Amino acid sequence: MLQLTYSFLLLLTVVTFGKTMACNETCSFTVDYENDRFLLDGKPFRFVSGSFHYFRALPGSWRHILRSMRAAGLNAVMTYIEWSTHEPREGEYNWDGIANLEQFIRIAEEENLFVILRPGPYICAERDMGGFPYWLLTKYPNIKLRTADADYLREVEKWYGVLMPRIQKHLRGQGGPVIMVSIENEYGSFSACDRRYLAYLKNLTERYVQNDAVLFTNDGPAQLHCGRIPGVLATLDFGSTENPEHYWQMLRKYQPKGPLVNAEFYPGWLTHWMEPMARVPVGPVANTLRAMLSSGANVNFYMFFGGTNFAFTAGANDGGPGKFQADITSYDYDAPLDEAGDPTTKYYALKSVIQEFLPDPDVPVPAKLPKMTLPPVKLNRYGSLMSSEARQALGQYTRSSEKTLSFEALNQHSGLVLYESTIPSGTNRDPLLLQIKNLRDRAYVHVDNKFVGVLSRENAIDSLPITLELGKRLQLLVENQGRINYNVANDFKGILGSVTIDGNEILNWTMTGFPLDNYSLLQSYIDRYSGYDGETSRNAAARIFQAKFTIQSRPIYDTYIYPSDWGKGIIFINGFNLGRYWPRAGPQVTLYVPRHILREGSNTILIIEYQKDVQGDAVITFSDEPKLDGLL
């Protein structure tokens, strides 16, 4: 009876929220340039919004997070639309599960939140290749992304032809909750500055949106020159500052009239592996927010909820010694709602400021959800990706070529590629110097199935001495750590240059692909080679571990895997790829485990450990708290 009553109240709340967004006659959302404001159904309107990307949380948590956002006083949610999520392979579209964009929009509307959509097609977002699908580089190796390149425009037009009809019925002019749609994303920061491209994308977007929502661009204050589009509302992106008025004045040089909008106001920041977790103090954030709202500005928090870069979706940036810095799996972002969707101290501080300016939504803040710990799990070893058994079961192709080929040339999105060739004979030099030019991104070096070291793009380490006694077969297991998502448009993966030993180029390569994106292959391998742990796995990297564990408690809560004694790799639970772990590099140690992938009774965990020789019992532990600030 209690459960029935709760369900009825939830339904009543949803229906009530939905009615408040309805318009009596003509629905519209427009810009009143003369009076520097927006008009919703003809009446003055100001939004305070928060970014929440549907593809960074499982659908079962969407309503809880959106309700928490509304409870903070927000009246809108902003989300990117990620092309690669919806078309991971050319012509194969996905609109289910975590890709159910329309369901996300419907839930937002039920929770009394307007929706702002950012379809890109480039989104950055610290995602692999900035949200572009990798196969664009396979199909068009010389494509010029984010320009008027004919191949690129053809693919964008095809993609919009599939995407936009799904959006149209949700636009405000059609009675839906979508009030704004962006054109591109911080284009002023991109070196191409191709105005023909922006004009084309404006016309393409207008074809579908027409006057049913407001079109806008967003740029940093100093990048407006190349990012703005005549006839389209320009908005700014900036974080905490003592003088937001300075930035508004920069905007007014290009757009003398119209509503002021900070489309990306940063309460937190992104984090790469091998650097401290980004932490942003709440005081300056709250003060800047109050100043902007006092001036009548519209604000969107980037991010209000960050979530997780599950599987291989995390991107990278082009900084550091090797001009490459991979993003961590967590996208907690030090946001007001943490990675699990729970309110933080920052949440309550910003809620207090928001409600100085917007009406109290009269929505209780959802309680922080309990977390659970689980007993340690002992895993069994099942060989290495280097073994012949694993190659037959998990290698999705084998190709031969005189020179090494990129992941994209091999039509592979993620995971690893094993490059193999023969070390030249006829030398008595010992050791020999192995060097790889243009490695993308990390090579686990083997000789005759013996792991001998690591080369790293991140740390600009491209050479390694190897001794003659090791053997004759050179094997380079190359990991894609995430394609660069900002500034660099075409980040191909694999070995893009020459491989030399003592300056002599090695040719005639065999390449085996391990995309690791098909869990059924991994499970079939485990089933077939139950108990297998041959000689190769004792000497090689990329070892496979698996175990069953039992959950007896109900209800099932979120938890965190705590791989503090492991090296670097990926973890699956019940076939779901939680993402990359790398505790020694940090700062992220734990991986977030959503309750929605766990089940009462038997569960399966599978780990592919790329580099550490896990000695003795292979044990993984769980925690009821996240650890994102390093092992120490």
CB 416 within 8 A of CB 480: yes
Which one from 186, 339, 420, 458 is the annotated catalytic residue? Answer: 186
Cα dihedral angle (609, 613, 617, 620), rounded to 10 degrees?
A: -30
Residue 144 burial (C-beta neighbours within 10 Å; 0-12, 13-18, 19+): middle
Our CA angle for 196, 197, 199, nearest 5°, is 65
H helix or E strand, kind and range, residue 562 = strand 559-562
- The answer to whether 53 and 80 are in contact (CB under 8 A) is yes
Amino acid at 430: D
Among 545, 591, 538, 537, which Cα is nearest to 564's? 591
**What separation in angstroms does the CA of 21 have from each of 8, 17, 486, 488?**
21, 7, 36, 41
Q: Is 479 a known active-site residue?
A: no
CB-neighbour burial class of residue 60 (10 A; exposed 0-12, middle 13-18, buried 19+): exposed
Residue 236 and residue 247 in contact, taking contact as beta carbons nearer than 8 Å: yes
Catalytic residue among 82, 184, 264, 458: 264
Structure tokens that stand for 305 in this block: 């909820």
| 186 annotated active-site | yes
CA separation for the pair 483, 324 (Å, rounded): 9
Strands 416-422 and 473-479: antiparallel
Is the distance from CB of 507 to CB of 421 less than 8 angstroms?
Answer: yes
Please give the sequence-ordered ranges of beta strands (E in DSSP) within 371-440, or none if there are none.
Answer: 377-384, 398-401, 416-422, 432-436, 439-440
Cα dihedral 190, 192, 194, 200 in deg (nearest 10): -70
Per the CB < 8 A criterion, the answer to whether 316 and 327 are in contact is yes
Residue with tokens 């077939």: 528
Just list the catalytic residues.
Answer: 186, 264
